[in-house]
Structure 1
Amino acid sequence: MSQNPTLRSRAMRGLFWSLLQNVVGRLMSVLLFILIARFVTPDEFGFASTAIVVVSFLALIADFGMGDALVQRPQLRAGDPDLALYVSLAGSVILAGLLIAAALPIARIMKAEALAPYLQYATLFCPILVLISFQEALYRRAELFRALALRTVFGIFASGVVGLTLALNGWGAWALLGQFSTQVVLSALWLWSRSTWRPSRAPDPAVLRQLLRFGVSLVLLRAIDFVAMRSIDFVILSRHGAASLGLFAVSMRIDQTLTQLVQVSVSAVALSFLSRIASDPQRLARSFLRTVSLCATFGTPVFLGVAALSPDLVRLALGSRWMGADEIVRPLLIVGGVQCIQFICGSYLIAMGRPGTLLGLIVAKTLIVVLGLVIVKNSDLQETVITYSLLLLCEAPITFSVMVHRLSLRWSDLASAIIAPCGASILAFVVAEIVRAELTAKVPANLLMVLIFTIFVTVFFGILFSCALRQFKDNAGFVLSGLRRQ
């Protein structure tokens, strides 16, 4: 490889390490999660997941979006991140102190007083999460994706050992929180011990103002998006109890694992490179169509395939204690098949310098989801999750309309990029469901699982090859050529 690799070559290298980080990291995480879940009850899982969700939200607010502002900044001097770090750390300490004091009243409002100690413990790690976010941003800016990948794999393995040990010794929810806190601490130590940047004693207030102008709008839209996506947790906890929240949290873990593999692997690299082609509208439009086509071809069928196999996967992986999670995860996975295409739109809007447009889309989604959950009073957990999934799906046409307009595309351009793989995935899922309904009482469970998998794969590729073989070959060739360069 030349000493000055092309933009595409560097992007593909970053994507390779991001994929490695997410594929290996997620597979290890899922394996450890399955082992730990067998020793934790649904209500314990519900309390632990709520505490982790809340502290993640606090860290998101305290960061002020300055991590991504540093990645986006055209020129970055050694002392530019200093004051931003100090401000974010101070904000995280203040927010953590307020939440620790308010943990018991919040738990009482949620009708779950047992939540309070878990919430207080998890909140202690908010400042450390801020330290991690700054170093991750500077690693991404320096294109050190290999180091980030190795950090993730090591942290997941070590924290998983801690969590599993605690679970085997009957620590319940504390096993999950022990796993979380171990991974946070190890991640911080790894990143800061190998850092290419250290804070100085000469912070520049002017740089802080510039970072805030970009970062505050970004953190605002992320905070609103967080509310839209995680408001369901608090609705379930208050209406259906901690055990129902545990079932939902397990289902969300499955959905988020697939999302991590498809979405984060691309978007973690995208922001670093999209901003460099944002001034070329035609190139940006071609890149967008390529990206959504790749996500539809290799992402959507994974979500729909796992949805078709969800009863078998839950039975084999989690056991009888978690039966019922398959009916909860299925609508989430079906919507995830659309969202794995839709989520990349945010990176493109940010690269185009339109965070306000992205904010408008997220506000619309939040209003749709939150108002819908408040207005619709479902009688059980499954109905609540179906309602939530349908509400999320309502925002997709709005997002794609905005992207078609902003990139000066035609609807036919977008349709030609995604309709064949999406249609093949949907039809394969429908056929698999029909077969399951007909054969569940007639065929042994393990044999039925193999049959469902075979039918889904056969129908998907049969339809795709008959309708869009050229598109599939083009996308597969694009990915393989990029990997060969590495």
Structure 2
Amino acid sequence: MNIRVDDGAILADDNVASKVRSSLIWSAVRNWGGRLVGFVIYFQLVRLLDPASIGAFAAAFAVFAFLELFVDQGLGDAILQRPTVSQGQLNTVFLLNFLVSLLVVGGIWLCAPLVEQGMKIHGLSNILRIGSLSLLINALGFCQLALFRREFQFKRLAMRGLVSTLAGGVAGVALAWLGFGVWALVAQLLVAAVVNLAMLWWRSRWYPSRELDFSGLGQMSRFGINILGVRVIEFSNYRLIDLAVGFWLGVVSLGMYSVGSKLYYIFAQLLGSVLLDVAMPAFSRMAGDRVRMREVYYQAVTMTVFVAVPVWILVAALAPELCHVAFGARWAGSEHILVPLAFLGAAQAVQYYDSTILNACGKPSHSLLLSSLKAVATLISIWIAHSYSLLAIVIGCALAQVALMPLSYWLVRQALAISLREWLGRILPFLAAVVVLWGGIYLLAEPCASWPPLLALVFKGGVGAVLYLGTLGLFARQRLMGLLVAIRSLKHG
């Protein structure tokens, strides 16, 4: 069996363009629906579990998330990129992923006591050993997941994500309510992994066989190594902070960071994952036409800044109310973690597509270089700030990411020959409107201080949205109307 993707300007074909539009919608369902369900579940869990349980599982999950990168090895994206993939090549990748997962899980079982001793978290060893079985389960579905993305079957992926998240959440909340503590979170992880795997294999059009084909494996591995390197570095920019906080500040601070950063990760998924899911296969098919690719990049950045930046600024401005409504008064202080992360999210929204563009242009090494420099800056900031406070660590990590933004822009500019004037002209009207949004909410802080948190959240959020859209309507009406037309065409696409 060969799975083929036609060369050329794939988005010029009406049928494929329709698939891309449909994929964006279903990717939104997958990410937004899954995150909404996951957030409701997490909302219940943090009210049933103590900070120590949340912190212990956060430490274990950071280990799982890091090691799973090596299980996949970037070969899923390599399958996505290749013009043709044979049955034998898929079998080879499937077998390789499974064998590596066995080695990783075995290593966790052997080293778990050492990790527990090093992190000084009682009971972490058993959590690592049992929870690591999710890596083995997930490895069995990597090839299927890559094939579904390759074929733009995001509707099926959306259903899989929603059902597995819901199943795991029901199991976790039930066990937490029964008093199982941290093991409720471990059960949630394992149940979600099993259901996810079952739905990936249900009615699949590819199943492994004994046929092995090592041709092309070297090329896929070279591509995959670059992708793996980028993912490992990006992990260090986000998840490694969990390990650092747990090691230096203790499990209670880790629990506070886990809760305070939860909304950041949720909004990052809601705003970024939908676009990046589809952007990778779409931009890859336009790599031969840089002029067209550059114009699509401009349009994508404009649309993303229009939507994502004001959302992030609203999150920063409404952090006290958001955290209180979401997590309760028990987690007072978590808003101080969310604010700098939300500002970081607003800055990152301008460059959501940079790594995707570099990879699609055949420059994964540039993407790897950029991620490596970010990792070094992040690690240095953590080392400097860890002796001060949790908030100092968070602010330091955010500043380290922002410091590398000019280099990211320069690399994309070299790849696509984009114009700084054109790029700034696309985003500056929205950034100016965001300043008005922030100022309006800031002025409402004192008058609304005595209001119930939910009422203040709704009122201030509504005022911020009106100020943002009103400012654009007054000073950038043509740009606003053009974007609204584009969104409407996407909806009816």
Band the TM-score falls in, shorter-chain normalisation: over 0.9
Query: 1:337 corresponds to which residue?
Result: 346
Distance 1:194 1:426 in 2: 50
Query: 2:396 corresponds to which residue?
Result: 387
Change (3 A) 1:215 1:441: closer
Distance 1:190 1:34 in 2: 26
Q: Which amino acid is the alignment partner of residue 391 of structure 1? A: A
Query: 1:286 corresponds to which residue?
Result: 295
Contact map agreement 2:88 2:213 (CA 8 A) in 1: yes
CA displacement, residues 397-430 of structure 1 (integer Å, 9 cap, x when unaligned): 2211221222111111111122221332243124
Query: 1:155 corresponds to which residue?
Result: 164
Gaps of 5+ in 1: none
Query: Structure 2 matches for 1:338-417, cutoff 5 A?
Result: 338-417=347-426
- Name the SS of the counterpart of 1:76 in structure 2: strand
2:239 to 215, 224, 230: 230
CA displacement, residues 229-249 of structure 1 (integer Å, 9 cap, x when unaligned): 222111111121111111211
Distance 1:443 1:129 in 2: 46
Q: Aligned residue pairs: how many? A: 481
- Name the SS of the counterpart of 2:265 in structure 1: helix
The answer to whether residue 191 in structure 2 is matched with residue 182 in structure 1 is yes
Query: 1:59 corresponds to which residue?
Result: 68
1:138 to 141, 147, 154: 147
- Name the SS of the counterpart of 1:201 in structure 2: coil
The answer to whether residue 471 in structure 2 is matched with residue 463 in structure 1 is yes
Question: How far did residue 455 of structure 1 move?
Answer: 2.7
- Name the SS of the counterpart of 2:350 in structure 1: helix
Question: How far did residue 447 of structure 1 move?
Answer: 4.2
Distance 2:88 2:375 in 1: 37
- Name the SS of the counterpart of 1:197 in structure 2: coil
2:134 to 110, 113, 125: 125
User: What CA RMSD, in Å, does the superposition of the two structures yield over aligned residues?
Assistant: 1.7
The answer to whether residue 106 in structure 2 is matched with residue 114 in structure 1 is no
Change (3 A) 1:194 1:323: farther
Distance 1:124 1:93 in 2: 9
Distance 1:173 1:331 in 2: 29
TM-score normalized with structure 2 length:
0.94
Query: 2:427 corresponds to which residue?
Result: 418
Question: How far did residue 253 of structure 1 move?
Answer: 2.0
The answer to whether residue 91 in structure 2 is matched with residue 82 in structure 1 is yes
Gaps of 5+ in 2: 1-12
1:324 to 324, 333, 358: 333
Question: How far did residue 463 of structure 1 move?
Answer: 2.0
Question: How far did residue 442 of structure 1 move?
Answer: 5.1
Distance 1:444 1:204 in 2: 63
Question: How far did residue 444 of structure 1 move?
Answer: 5.0
Question: How far did residue 392 of structure 1 move?
Answer: 1.7
1:277 to 267, 283, 286: 286
Contact map agreement 1:314 1:322 (CA 8 A) in 2: yes
The answer to whether residue 179 in structure 2 is matched with residue 170 in structure 1 is yes
Distance 2:101 2:272 in 1: 27
CA displacement, residues 310-330 of structure 1 (integer Å, 9 cap, x when unaligned): 211221221122111111111
Contact map agreement 2:237 2:397 (CA 8 A) in 1: no
Question: How far did residue 8 of structure 1 move?
Answer: 2.3
